Amino acid sequence: MKAVIQRVRHAQVVVDEQCVGSIEHGLVVLLGVQQGDTTHDLHYLVDKVCGLRIFSDPAGKMNLAVSDVGGQLLVISQFTLLGDCRKGKRPSFMAAAAPEIAKDFYEQFIAQARARQIVVASGVFQADMQVTLCNDGPVTLVLDSRGPT
């Protein structure tokens, strides 16, 4: 699994001109599921996202996790994170998991984050979405459950 994490002041996702999810202070998580991902990959990313100490403590150091600051998550399915652009000009998405598998992992990610008492909003799986956010910092990180690519 791959994720792009953005620390935000606020964010929202719109589908068919309707806001389907929004958060204040927290993290936007763009989540991609790849072929061969297991529950180990899922647990790793949930633990990593929920535990990342990327919010400032009173001394101004990045030392607090999203739950420490009462932050929220906005989780968006993002199969294009698995796009391979090494050959030609058109990305190949062969590494992306089949939609039914990806949807299950996406929903489990949301459920596991909520089980940690974090408020989680989400997009709509496979929908055409417009995501608006105010990146705070900016802080943007890339996570891969399988290590560096």
The active-site residue, picked from 12, 34, 72, 79, is: 79
Q: Which residues contact 136 (CB under 8 A, 6 or more apart)?
A: 7, 8, 9, 25
Mind spelling out the 3-state secondary structure of 122-148? ECCCCCCEEEEEEEEEEEEEEEECCCC
The active-site residue, picked from 80, 126, 130, 132, is: 80
Tell me the residue ranges of DSSP E strands in the chain.
Answer: 2-15, 18-32, 55-56, 62-64, 72-77, 119-122, 129-144
Domain ranges of the chain: 2-144
What pLDDT tens digit does each residue of the chain (149 aa) get? 999 999 999 999 999 999 999 999 999 999 999 999 999 999 999 999 999 999 999 999 999 999 999 999 999 999 999 999 999 999 999 999 999 999 999 999 999 999 999 999 999 999 999 999 999 999 999 999 997 65
Q: Span 2-144: which CATH code?
A: 3.50.80.10
Say if residues 74 and 113 touch (Cβ distance below 8 Å): no
Does the annotation count 125 as an active-site position? no
pLDDT given for residue 25 in this prediction: 96
Does the annotation count 39 as an active-site position? no
Say if residues 68 and 51 touch (Cβ distance below 8 Å): no
Q: Which residues pair with 129 in a beta bridge?
A: 15
pTM: 0.94
The active-site residue, picked from 78, 105, 109, 112, is: 78
Does the annotation count 79 as an active-site position? yes
